[in-house]
Structures are given as C-alpha cells and as structure tokens.
Amino acid sequence: MPAFSSQPSDPIAVFDSGLGGLTVVRALLRRLPRERLIYFGDTARVPYGSKSPRTVLQFARQCLHFLTQFNPKLMVVACNTVSATALQSLHQDFTVPIIGVLEPGAAAAVAAARIPAGQPRRIGLIATEATIASQAYNQAVTRLDATIQVIGRACPLLVPMIEEGRLQESPIVRSVLQEYLHPFKSLQVPVLILGCTHYPIFSQAIEATLGSSTTLIDSADQTALVVAEKLATMHIANDAGTPLADGLTCYVTDQGQRFESLAGRFLGRLITQPVWVEPERLENLTVEK
Amino acid sequence: MPAFSSQPSDPIAVFDSGLGGLTVVRALLRRLPRERLIYFGDTARVPYGSKSPRTVLQFARQCLHFLTQFNPKLMVVACNTVSATALQSLHQDFTVPIIGVLEPGAAAAVAAARIPAGQPRRIGLIATEATIASQAYNQAVTRLDATIQVIGRACPLLVPMIEEGRLQESPIVRSVLQEYLHPFKSLQVPVLILGCTHYPIFSQAIEATLGSSTTLIDSADQTALVVAEKLATMHIANDAGTPLADGLTCYVTDQGQRFESLAGRFLGRLITQPVWVEPERLENLTVEK
C-alpha cells in the first residue's frame, strides 16, 4: 500500500519540458479512458535536452511541485531528459509515486531485441544531448541484460524540425535522418529506441531510413502500460463508469498560440485552451519534503 | 547629460538569451578595446525566439536587473528577439541607457539598400519567429524610409544548427538555406538583414546561396559603432590608457561545458570560464524602478 493517501478519482499528473509529452498523454487516454489527466508543459523554459543536469533537476522539481497541488495519485515524467538525469532525485523529493519514460522504454527495447546467438548484442538509441550524456539508457538496459550494449546518438535538430511544423516527407528531414541514423544502419541494430517523446512524430521517416529489419521503440505505449499496472497494484485505478469525453486539462508556462497550434500533432486531436502559469509562480515554490 | 551618475571606468553590460550576443561582444572588443565588458547569457532558459513577448520581457527584465549590480554605464541588448519585442518596456524599467541591436541593424540596412529608381523598394530579413511576428524591423525601417518594405522570414533551424556545431559547408546547412532564402532570391532583394546574432556564423553560406548582388547586414558592427558614439556623447568613454588584455567577464544561468565549447565560435577566441548564476537568483529579483 502507498505511504500517501489517494483515491481512484484523483487525477494522474503528466509533466514534460514542452509538448512532446503529449504523445504519452495520447497513449494514456487510449489505455485509461476513465482517468482525469493534468498535463504540465514548461514551454517558457523548453528545451531541457541541451541543458545541464543541475538546471534540469531544478526546473523539474519546480514543475512537479506545482502539480502536487492537484493531489495526483501518480505523476508521470513524460520527458526523457528529466527521466534520464533527474528521476532518482525526484523520487526522494516527493511522496507521490513517479513513473518516468526511460525504464519502460528500456524494458520494451530489451524485450523486442531478440538478438540471434552469435550476433553482436547492440541496440540503438536516439535522444537529446543531455539524455545521451547521462548514460541512463545504457544503465537501465544493463540492469535488464548485461550482455547488451547501447549505441547512442544525440539528434539536436529533430525537436526543432518537429516544432517548426516540418513534415516527415520533407527532403531536409530525410537528409538529417540519413546523417543521424547512418551509424545504426551500418551496425544493423535490431532495435532503435526513440529516446525523446517528440520523435514518434517522425517514426515513418525513421523507419523508411533504417529499413524494416529495425524495430522502433516508442516508450509512450509502454509507459501507459506501466502506469495502468501501477494503479491496479495500488488499487487506485479509476476503472468504473463511462469513459470521459475530455479528461485532460493542460497547463503551460509560456503564453501564446504556439501550444495549441502544435499540440494537435502530438495528441492526434484538437486541444482545449491551456491554462497559463507564470514562470515566477514556479520559481518561488519550494519542494514538499 | 544622463540622469544617472557613471564613470568612464564603469563597465558596459551585454545581455543575450544565450551565446549569439558574443558576436556583438567581438565587435565591441574590436572597436572599444579599453572598455570592461560584462556578458550575461541566459543559457538555462534559451532560446527566447520561439516564446511569447510576455515571457521574453519578464526574462529580459530579470537579466538586466541582475546586470545593474555591476553599475554599468550602458547596457547592450545583444539579442534581436528582446530588442524586437521588449526594448520599449525595458527603457521604462531602467535608468541606465540601453542600446538594442535592432535599430542599428535597420539603419545599416536602409543605408546599404541604395535601390535604383524604378526598382521595387524591398529589403529582406531573416530572424526568429518572435522577431518576425513582432514586425519591429518593419517599423524601424519605415521610420527611416517609409517607401521601403521589409520581407521577413522566420528561420527556426539556423540557431539549433549553429549550436549543434554544424559547419556552414554541411550539405544540410546548404539545403536549409536554399529553402529559407528562396523567396529572397526570387525577389532579388539588394539587402538581407541577419536579424539574429547567431546568423553571422553562417554568413559565407548565406552569401553563397544568395549571390553577391545581395548585401548582408550584420548588426554587430553597427551596434558597436552606436555604443561608441553614445559613450562619446555622454563623455563616459574609456579611451585613455592601453587596451585591456582581457576585459571580458561572462555570466551564464546554465552550468556546464556547453558555453565554453561553443563560445569560441562566436567570439573568435577562447573564453575564460564563465561564472554560473542560479536561475532562482534572477527569479527573485524585482526591477529597480
């Protein structure tokens, strides 16, 4: 039983540095249609992926602390950079259970790898600079199977291309992917982890570049599964009644049209206007424990 | 005479959202080798160019307020996004004179345009989304010559490509520039304003794409000239004695190696280790007036 008290009717809080976490929200809505979701995107200070672990941890702490006001039964860190660099510290800061996207993604990758005997035991990873530098995927994979090596590559242009609204059919997207994915093609990795919640938007182009012998791992579905299992184990799943028509409320730190205009691409449907939270409100929060 | 009291020995403060402002520092060091410079890069919250005017103004206020502790005789906003969206408000917030990069750039563009009679009176502008949306260059040019029209285009991939360390010889840089600059090539603009302090890093590739009939305007040199004139008018130039060996001190909000490893590209020489300022220190500052 959990050390804190919560009810099935309490919401699930989902945090990301910006918009990418909405791919995780999409998977959660599909798997858990009766749950209320509170999404928080730190769009004033995005991106986190090119920043230092110290800065990422401090920003993430402030955002999760903001989310505790909604009394969530569970918090999902739907950002690979935060999951890779700050999750251990965040577990110590909050009593609410926190699930990141990294462990579910690593588990799915190891399960999907099925490397034949005699073949090199390597899987691929594309992610932000901060996630690659953290070596956190390597460690998570090693814990599951110490014989598998993770080959990682930072891909700093993918997020800006997606946020620019560029389609995966664009020749520039294809050229950039050719360059970034070249090592994985040469190594013939059986599995490539999409280690940033933005990347599934380009999954068809990534597949076209690598060929069908490489399986892509999008941690969104796997994270939603882990969340469902955790709620069931804790007896706080909201699985009675009819699915909610719109169980999602969004909060963002940057004011403007950008979130609404881009969110549909990640969520697969239009989004209700997000609520704006002044960054200064976060900055004056202190952590609960 | 200024409303505040300052001495020739006081430093010049230079502010940018990140690293790009170092191109302005380079021009200042060249033109004013006896001045002490304090540079502040808000590297924890960079980029500003994709964010809303409200957020940009709030962040800029905090950063300039931080810089006032050094008792600067002049502050330079070496960021086009801040100069375009927030400068009017910042002038009201601070008594220290503030010079942005936009007006000097617009003036240089109009001076360089020399459009023959009978030709369309148009100049080009590439910049961040926020700078383009602000229409501030159009207004600045109109104030100088109401017959000239500014044709602007947001180029969101240029800053990430430069910060990734990508060289201008890269075929991907060439393809992206072909796409972004296509309208200017078709229109045969005589002048293109590089409306972001990062862009001069790619000036050779931009020149190669557009051809030699288009003059590129880099506001860094022009801004340094305006700063020199302002100091002379106010009788606070530090023009006696020998040039300083290293008159530059840098402050940044993100901790890490990224600033040092990239700064050389903007400054044209290695940089002394920057001083780290916790973002929370800024966030608790209030504005002086």
pLDDT digits 0-9 by tens, A38-77: 999 999 999 999 999 999 999 999 999 999 999 999 999 9
pLDDT digits 0-9 by tens, B193-222? 999 999 999 999 999 999 999 999 999 999
Q: Which of B51, B179, B278 sits opposite A254 (nearest CB)?
A: B51
Domain coordinates of chain A in residue numbers?
12-101+221-283, 103-219
Burial class (CB in 10 A: 0-12, 13-18, 19+), B142: middle
Active site includes A63?
no
**Annotated catalytic, A196?**
yes
- A41: enclosing H helix or E strand: strand A37-41
Chain B residues touching residue A258 (CB < 8 angstroms): 50, 52
pLDDT in tens, B114-159: 888 888 899 999 999 999 999 999 999 999 999 999 999 999 999 9
- β-pairing verdict for A215-218 and A248-252: unpaired
* CB spacing of A172 vs B172 below 8 angstroms: yes
Say what the pLDDT of residue A156 is.
96
Segment A208-265, tens digit of pLDDT: 999 999 999 999 999 999 999 999 999 999 988 888 878 899 999 998 788 888 898 8
| CATH number for domain B12-100+221-283, candidates 3.40.50.1860, 3.20.20.80, 3.40.50.1000, 1.10.10.10 | 3.40.50.1860
Distance from CA of A181 to the nearest CA of B (A): 14
B50, B163, B280: residue with CB nearest A283 = B280
Cite the beta strand spans of B148-247 per DSSP E.
149-154, 191-195, 215-218
User: Concatenated DSSP letters for A210-246?
Assistant: H-TTSEEEEHHHHHHHHHHHHHHHTT----SSPPPS-
pLDDT, tens digit, 9 for 90 and up, residues A19-39:
999 999 999 999 999 999 999
Task: Say yes or no for a CB contact (<8 Å) between A52 and B258.
Answer: yes
Q: How far is B279 from chain A (nearest CA, A)?
A: 8
Task: Please tell me what DSSP assigns to residue A191.
Answer: E
The answer to whether the CB atoms of B44 and A45 lie below 8 A apart is: yes
Q: Which CATH number fits domain A12-101+221-283: 3.30.1180.20, 2.60.120.380, 3.40.50.11540, 3.40.50.1860?
A: 3.40.50.1860
List active site positions of B.
Answer: 79, 196
Whole-Å CA distances, A185 to A52, A177, A182, A188, A205: 30, 11, 5, 5, 14
CA distance A140 to A149: 11
Rounded Cα gap, residues A230 and A250, in angstroms: 23
**What tokens appear for B159 in the block?**
């800053």
Interface test with A, best of B17, B42, B45, B177 (most A CBs within 10 A): B45
- What is the pLDDT confidence band of residue A286, given thresholds at 50, 70 and 90? low
Which contiguous run of DSSP H or E holds residue B260? helix B258-267
The secondary element (H helix, E strand) that includes residue A29 is helix A22-31
**Radius of gyration for chain A, computed over Cα atoms and rounded to the nearest angstrom:** 18
Distance between B248 CA and the closest CA of chain A, angstroms:
23
Domain A103-219 listed as CATH 3.30.9.10? no
Residues of A whose CB is below 8 A from B171: 175
Q: Compare all CA atoms of chain B with the CA of A43 and give the residue at the minimum distance.
A: B51
Establish whether domains A12-101+221-283 and A103-219 are of one fold: yes
Q: What is the interface pTM, i.e. ipTM, of the complex?
A: 0.91
Cross-chain Cβ contact B157/A157 below 8 Å? yes
CA distances from A202 to A130, A178, A187, A266, B201 (A): 20, 13, 21, 11, 29
